[in-house]
């Protein structure tokens, strides 16, 4: 395989397969909770923190290739976005959807302003920052893949362990509360998983399209399944397959951003599934 | 064991910054069917949430079989209003009833054939055994309510709280559900339901709690559900057309 697609692509492929699996796995619950828009807003809110993380690591003289500081900045920024959404919803007359739209656009706009400023600075390496917007696996290093892979496995493990309480929480929050799983804890767990998936997905699919990883495989799986367990598993497999195929195609055809290719592939799977389940339904 | 399933004294609860119920006191007898009746905005849902231990109380105390609701949680089961449930959720009838075993199963314990038998037997109790594999989106309102009753049965709860179990359900299904509730009472369960239809209170229930921010009367329907008490609760006179009583 490595002779066919090269060492770097093989590395990225491993990362994409694992990330695709766990994002589909977590995404099934985000979809059922109807929290897709919140996750999109969270993803866009990573941009200012990402750029600030880049500036901090540049001025501190940390090796630019180290993405840890950037991802940390992205996480803090996204968390701040969520806090702002919650504050607007709780303390003003504005609705949840308005809060989401406001945070998404304002944080992203502010991030673009920062990015434009950074690009005119006389420091190297800032070209790679755009990779986080649309996704690019070309520059992925072994350490990136190890990080993405391990965190993906942890997220999927959490979904397996908390499968019952998460299901109960989404379907009937009082039941989960009475069974000893407080609603605020389950809500926090799902938000945390969404945040972590978003952060580790920045490099592979980019912040604009990471919401698709959490939504489209889940929607596709929902068409074929009638239970939460089978739906989340199928969603994980769809996510993994799409991410894997997308990474290979974007490696073979240079200049194609991996995130965009992955989304196109997921959309094709969704389209075929809509047609397929519709035909199956009309036969029954 | 105390003869009272629930005992509430001087309970005041704020909800969304407003005093929803004030200085509420009543007892619910064990092994009875009790209705909570009152006008819209009387605080019925708030009272249920407080009984479940889901919201903080300002003053007063609640005890369930002589202990705090929070310590008694696993013996209380709650049947939500049908409108609060997303019936497009990917779950079969069996899946929903099995959720009643989640607190017992914990995170990872294996769902054994014994557990499966218990789910099937609860479905038989509500006459839904043939529907186990059916998606919940394909049920009638009455069937949906029976599935949730089966979930309460499988939970083996001693106290069942229901929020408007007959809302939007046809007369025939209503009779089926009343039968199920009466049978559960005979098995020793205590049942409390928020109820809207004043004309059926005396037929369906043993006891009643009349609530409008505070409790205007409670006790056996024959004593408490009088014309004077109902008028006091609803703040209007001439409710004869609703209750069918002279």
Of the candidate ranges A159-173, B69-83, B124-138, B148-162, the one whose mean pLDDT is the lowest: B69-83
Q: A165 to chain B: which residues are within 8 Å by CB? A: 102, 107
Query: Does B81 reach chain A within 8 Å, measured CB to CB?
Result: no
Of the candidate ranges A135-144, B23-32, B39-48, the one whose mean pLDDT is the lowest: A135-144
Q: State residue A6's pLDDT score.
A: 80
Average pLDDT for A160-183: 93
Mutate to test the interface with B, among A178, A189, A233 (most CBs of B within 10 A): A178
Do B102 and A32 lie within an 8 Å CB cutoff? Answer: no
Q: State residue A203's pLDDT score.
A: 83
For tokens 């039941």, what's the residue?
A175
Question: pLDDT grade, residue B68 (50/70/90)?
Answer: confident
Was domain A2-278 assigned CATH 1.10.645.10? no
pLDDT, tens only, A91-114 = 888 888 899 999 999 999 999 999
Other beta carbons within 10 angstroms of residue A59's beta carbon come to 9
Q: Does the pLDDT value for residue B230 go beyond 80?
A: yes
Q: Which domains, and CATH codes, for chain B?
A: 4-243 (3.40.50.300)
Q: Is A3 exposed, middle or buried (0-12, 13-18, 19+ CB in 10 A)?
A: exposed
Question: pLDDT grade, residue A2 (50/70/90)?
Answer: low
For tokens 């059916």, what's the residue?
B134
Q: State residue A214's pLDDT score.
A: 95
Helix, strand, or coil here: B23?
Answer: strand
Phi-psi region of A132 (alpha: psi -120 to 50; beta: other; left: phi over 0): alpha
Q: Rounded to whole angstroms, how far apart are CA atoms A177 and A183? A: 6
pLDDT, tens only, B175-188 = 999 999 999 999 99
Question: pLDDT grade, residue A224 (50/70/90)?
Answer: very high
Q: Does the pLDDT value for residue A284 go beyond 70?
A: no
Q: Using CA of residue A251, residue A252, residue A255, residue A260, what is the dihedral sign?
A: negative
Q: Report the complex ipTM.
A: 0.88
First to last CA, chain B: 40
Q: Does the pLDDT value for residue A65 go beyond 70?
A: no
B97-115: b or e for each residue (b if 16 or more CB lie within 10 Å)? bbbbbbbebeeeeeeeeeb
A262-277: b or e for each residue (b if 16 or more CB lie within 10 Å)? bbebbeebbeebeeee
Q: Rounded to whole angstroms, how far apart are CA atoms A218 and A238? A: 8
Q: A170 to chain B: which residues are within 8 Å by CB? A: 89
Average pLDDT for B50-62: 88
Tokens representing residue B7 in the block: 């005992």
Average pLDDT, chain A: 89
């Amino acid at each position: 395989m490595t002779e066919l697609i090269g060492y770097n692509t093989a590395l990225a492929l491993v990362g994409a397969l694992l990330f695709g699996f766990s994002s589909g796995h977590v995404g099934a619950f985000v979809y059922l909770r109807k929290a897709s828009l919140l996750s999109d807003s969270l993803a866009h809110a990573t941009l200012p923190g990402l750029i600030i993380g880049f500036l901090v690591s540049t001025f501190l003289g940390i090796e630019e290739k180290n993405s840890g500081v950037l991802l940390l900045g992205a996480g803090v920024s996204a968390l701040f976005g969520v806090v702002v959404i919650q504050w607007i919803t709780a303390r003003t007359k504005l609705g949840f959807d308005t809060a989401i739209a406001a945070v998404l656009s304002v944080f992203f706009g502010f991030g673009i302003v920062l990015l434009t400023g950074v690009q005119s600075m006389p420091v190297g390496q800032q070209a790679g920052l755009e990779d986080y917007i649309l996704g690019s696996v070309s520059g992925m290093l072994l350490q990136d893949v190890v990080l993405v892979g391990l965190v993906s496995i942890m997220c999927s493990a959490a979904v397996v362990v908390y499968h019952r309480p998460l299901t109960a929480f989404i379907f009937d929050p009082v039941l989960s509360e009475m069974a000893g799983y407080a609603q605020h804890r389950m809500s926090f767990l799902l938000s945390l998983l969404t945040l972590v998936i978003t952060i580790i997905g920045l490099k592979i699919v980019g912040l604009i399209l990471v919401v698709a990883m959490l939504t489209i495989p889940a929607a596709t799986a929902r068409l074929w399944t009638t239970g939460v367990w089978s739906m989340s598993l199928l969603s994980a497999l769809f996510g993994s397959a799409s991410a894997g195929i997308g990474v290979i195609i974007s490696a073979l055809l240079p200049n194609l951003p991996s995130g965009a290719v992955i989304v196109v592939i997921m959309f094709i799977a969704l389209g075929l599934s809509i047609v397929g389940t519709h035909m199956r339904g009309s036969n029954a | 064991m105390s003869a009272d399933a629930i005992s509430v004294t001087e309970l005041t609860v704020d909800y969304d910054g407003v005093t929803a119920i004030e200085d509420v006191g009543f007892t619910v007898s064990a092994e009875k069917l009790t209705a909570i009746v009152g006008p819209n905005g009387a605080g019925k849902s708030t009272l249920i949430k407080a009984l479940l231990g889901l919201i903080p109380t300002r003053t007063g105390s609640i005890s369930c079989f002589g202990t705090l609701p929070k310590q008694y949680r696993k013996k209380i089961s709650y049947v939500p209003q049908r409108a609060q449930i997303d019936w497009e959720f990917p779950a079969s009838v069996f899946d929903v009833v099995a959720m009643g075993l989640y607190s017992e199963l914990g995170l990872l314990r294996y769902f054994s054939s014994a557990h499966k038998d218990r789910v099937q037997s609860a479905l038989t109790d509500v006459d839904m055994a043939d529907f186990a594999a059916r998606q919940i989106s394909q049920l009638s309102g009455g069937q949906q309510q029976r599935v949730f009753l089966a979930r309460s049965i499988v939970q083996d709860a001693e106290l069942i709280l229901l929020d408007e179990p007959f809302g939007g359900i046809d007369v025939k299904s209503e009779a089926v559900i009343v039968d199920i509730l009466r049978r559960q009472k005979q098995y020793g369960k205590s049942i409390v339901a928020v109820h809207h239809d004043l004309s059926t209170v005396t037929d369906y229930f043993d006891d009643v709690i009349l609530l409008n921010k505070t409790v205007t009367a409670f006790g056996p329907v024959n004593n408490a559900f009088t014309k004077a008490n109902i008028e006091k609760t609803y703040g209007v006179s001439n409710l004869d057309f609703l209750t069918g009583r002279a």
